[in-house]
Amino acid sequence: MERLLTIATDGTYAGRLPSMSAVDFVLIKEGNATGLIEVKTRKETLEQIKSYGGLMLKHKKLIELQALSSLMNITTFVVFAFENAEGPLLICDPMKIRNPEPLPPPVRRNFRGLECDLDLVVFLDWDKDLRRVM
């Protein structure tokens, strides 16, 4: 989050939300919430993940973020951080993703057997849905 704040408007800071909140951070400027941020950290490099195809986001997370954005009249972003948050940062605006096709996730090589591992996902388009910010 510190890296992302270097490109934010002067005077903006990030407040960490409690564990299990719908988003990870709220952006605040002059005492007002100006944005919500969900951070997704990936261990692999951007190039490794690109070789797998589209970048996955859980469908129910996308719907939840779109609803938050609408209900609160605030911008919501998903930030994907690669290489354990040491590498590139890509940003996605959930409100710009229209009519995504929810699909079953591919089988993980380290399948954990958790119910959430079977949640439907959407595959984000690298060129249309994502923008590199760092």
Tens digit of pLDDT at every position of the chain (134 positions): 889 888 888 899 999 999 999 999 999 999 999 999 999 999 999 999 998 877 999 999 999 999 999 999 999 999 999 999 999 999 999 999 988 889 988 876 666 666 677 789 999 999 999 999 99
Tell me the C-alpha to C-alpha distance, in Å, between residue 25 and each of 20, 39, 76, 117, 120. Answer: 12, 8, 10, 24, 24
Its domain, for residue 88, covers 2-132
The total number of structural domains in the chain stands at 1
**Which structure tokens are listed for 131?**
């923008």
Amino acid at 44: E
Rounded Cα distance, 124 and 31, in Å: 33
What sections of 28-127 are H helices per DSSP? 46-52, 59-72
Using DSSP, state whether 117 is helix, strand or coil. Answer: helix
Q: Which pTM value belongs to this model?
A: 0.89
| Residue that is written with structure tokens 């590498």 in the block | 87
CATH code for the domain of 106: 3.40.1350
